């Protein structure tokens, strides 16, 4: 049984669910507002560094003995770091770089660490992290994070976990004001007993009031996970880089087929920098971004708490039913991975790119789903240099569908 932690944001707010120490079945609410100014404005894009970093030649740099992306997280050089930041570029544990371009929930990582606070000395901490993207002007930002935590000690036959549920969503209009709220429910497994801590590990909500992060920091497990929300109105110019960071200890273990790539988007520390490009070459896909897209579709992750769960599930089903998956992703993938095309579809054609992507997959299977929406998007956005899909005149919708009018935009388009 896993405990769960949920972080979510709308506008400049974040909903943070964190593990608490309440007794079995009891609920607790945690709330926090932060307004920290972080570090100095540094980059050419006007981004700020984290508080302990320095600015040199328009670049944020971590302190001596640390490494990372100093706009969002610095870690000890012996520790491992994966982050998904901006729109959202993923920098894997092995330092490979790609863009995760779809509004769906995906597994970022799954690993196990030692629990140095274990009573027997044999305890472990298990982590699984999911992220959910949201469309924003043709690009994608991390909208929510789901973290599962399990604390186990096989020697004493105990296993304790925490379930967490989100409460309401907050809209905050003031720039750089972050509102955090969560409801937690603590439960023990049937073979455990109620504890104030999880096998010697205290897991409590924490908030970085200087750098504006919701943080799950468990020193006994050597793990720290942080989330900074995005500003829906001006995410591109948000001074404090939004996103998710995952810091794992040097002794963390990733099991093959469970946490390595493609089962976890962050991969493992021993992966080469060419991880995603190598995967694209292996599958004969056009580029690293379509490789990541392909692997998430193939993994078909659960879409818990995703407002576009139905659309993502349709993508998974269309992908699964395809007899030429590689060709289909090479043909249709640009509708999600190219930001200029995505923005045109969103703003000019008034559709969600994932709807047009699904329509493209359906067309490849001679199905009529979304045909008229695809043809309209091709007519409006086809003149773009980045449009590599079918011309509107080449899209022949079934005559049977002429009397069927699709809505101009799905309800879930209104955030």
Q: What are the tens digits of pLDDT across the range 353-378?
A: 999 999 999 999 988 788 999 999 99
301 located within any domain = no
The reply to whether 265 and 315 lie within a common domain is no
For residue 128, the cross-strand partners are 110, 148
- At a CB cut-off of 8 Å and minimum separation 6, what does 156 contact? 119, 120, 199
Q: Which of 180-189, 204-213, 311-320, 340-349 has the lowest mean pLDDT?
A: 180-189
How large is the average pLDDT for residues 177-199? 48
60 band by pLDDT with thresholds 50, 70 and 90 = very high
181 band by pLDDT with thresholds 50, 70 and 90 = low
- Please give the pLDDT value at position 373: 93
220 located within any domain = yes
The reply to whether 325 and 177 lie within a common domain is no
- Please give the pLDDT value at position 10: 26
Greatest extent of the chain over all pairs of C-alpha atoms, in Å: 70
Contact 8, 15 (CB under 8 A): yes
How large is the average pLDDT for residues 30-36? 72
Distance CA 41, CA 38 (A): 9
221 located within any domain = yes
The reply to whether 228 and 318 lie within a common domain is no
Is residue 26 pLDDT above 60, yes or no? no
The reply to whether 175 and 313 lie within a common domain is no
Is residue 108 pLDDT above 90, yes or no? yes
The reply to whether 244 and 152 lie within a common domain is yes
The reply to whether 257 and 360 lie within a common domain is no
Distance CA 415, CA 133 (A): 13
CA angle at residue 344 from 341 to 350, to 5 degrees? Answer: 130
**Does 404 or 383 have the greater pLDDT score?**
383
194 band by pLDDT with thresholds 50, 70 and 90 = very low
Is residue 251 pLDDT above 90, yes or no? yes
- Please give the pLDDT value at position 213: 84
- Please give the pLDDT value at position 84: 96
The last residue of a domain, from among 271, 290, 315: 271
Distance CA 164, CA 321 (A): 35
Q: What are phi and psi of 29, to 5 degrees?
A: -115, 135
Secondary element (H or E) of residue 347: helix 339-347
Instruction: Give Rg (Cα) of the chain.
Output: 22
194 located within any domain = yes
The reply to whether 317 and 372 lie within a common domain is yes
Is residue 168 pLDDT above 80, yes or no? no
Q: Tell which residue, 236, 379, 289, has the closest CA to residue 96.
A: 289
Q: How many residues does the chain have?
A: 415
- Please give the pLDDT value at position 367: 82
Is residue 11 pLDDT above 60, yes or no? no
- Please give the pLDDT value at position 404: 41
Range of the domain at 178: 3-271
Distance CA 98, CA 274 (A): 10
381 located within any domain = yes
Count of domains observed in the chain = 2
285 located within any domain = no
139 located within any domain = yes
277 located within any domain = no
The reply to whether 250 and 103 lie within a common domain is yes
Distance CA 197, CA 191 (A): 16
Q: Specify the residue for token string 């328009």.
A: 58
The reply to whether 41 and 139 lie within a common domain is yes
Is residue 228 pLDDT above 80, yes or no? yes
Q: Which of 13-27, 87-101, 114-128, 225-239 has the lowest mean pLDDT?
A: 13-27
């Amino acid at each position: 049984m896993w405990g769960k932690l949920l972080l979510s944001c709308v506008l400049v707010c974040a909903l943070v669910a964190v593990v608490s120490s309440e007794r079995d079945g009891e609920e607790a609410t945690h709330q926090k507002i932060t307004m920290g100014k972080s570090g100095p404005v540094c980059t050419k894009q006007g981004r700020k560094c984290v508080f302990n970093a320095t600015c040199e030649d328009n670049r944020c740099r971590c302190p001596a003995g640390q490494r990372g992306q100093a706009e969002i997280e610095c870690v000890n050089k012996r520790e491992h770091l994966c982050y998904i930041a901006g729109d959202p570029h993923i920098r894997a544990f092995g330092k490979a770089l790609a863009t995760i371009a779809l509004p769906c929930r995906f597994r970022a990582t799954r690993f196990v660490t030692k629990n140095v606070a274990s009573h027997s000395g044999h305890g472990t901490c298990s982590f699984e992290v999911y992220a959910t993207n949201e469309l924003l002007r043709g690009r994608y930002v991390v909208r929510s994070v789901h973290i599962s935590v399990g604390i186990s000690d096989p020697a004493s036959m105990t296993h304790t976990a925490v379930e967490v549920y989100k409460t309401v969503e907050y809209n905050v209009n003031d720039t750089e004001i972050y509102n955090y709220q969560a409801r937690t429910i603590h439960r023990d497994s049937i073979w455990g007993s109620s504890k104030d801590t999880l096998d010697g590990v205290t897991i409590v909500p924490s908030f970085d009031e200087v750098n504006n992060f919701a943080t799950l920091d468990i020193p006994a497990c050597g793990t720290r996970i942080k989330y900074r929300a995005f500003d829906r109105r001006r995410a591109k110019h948000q001074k404090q880089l939004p996103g998710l960071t995952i810091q794992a200890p040097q002794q963390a273990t990733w099991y093959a087929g469970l946490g390595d790539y493609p089962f976890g988007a962050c991969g493992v520390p021993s992966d080469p920098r060419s991880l995603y490009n190598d995967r694209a070459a292996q599958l004969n896909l056009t580029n690293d971004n379509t490789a990541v897209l392909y692997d998430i579709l193939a993994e078909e992750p659960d879409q818990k708490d995703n407002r576009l769960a139905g659309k993502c599930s349709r993508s998974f089903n269309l992908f699964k039913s395809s007899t030429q998956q590689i060709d289909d992703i090479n043909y249709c993938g640009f509708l999600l991975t190219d930001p200029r095309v995505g923005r045109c579809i969103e703003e000019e054609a008034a559709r969600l790119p994932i709807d047009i992507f699904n329509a493209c997959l359906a067309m490849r299977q001679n199905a009529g789903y979304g045909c008229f929406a695809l043809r309209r998007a091709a007519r409006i956005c086809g003149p773009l240099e980045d449009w590599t899909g079918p011309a509107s005149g080449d899209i022949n919708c079934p005559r049977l569908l002429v009397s069927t009018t699709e809505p101009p935009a799905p309800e879930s388009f209104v955030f």
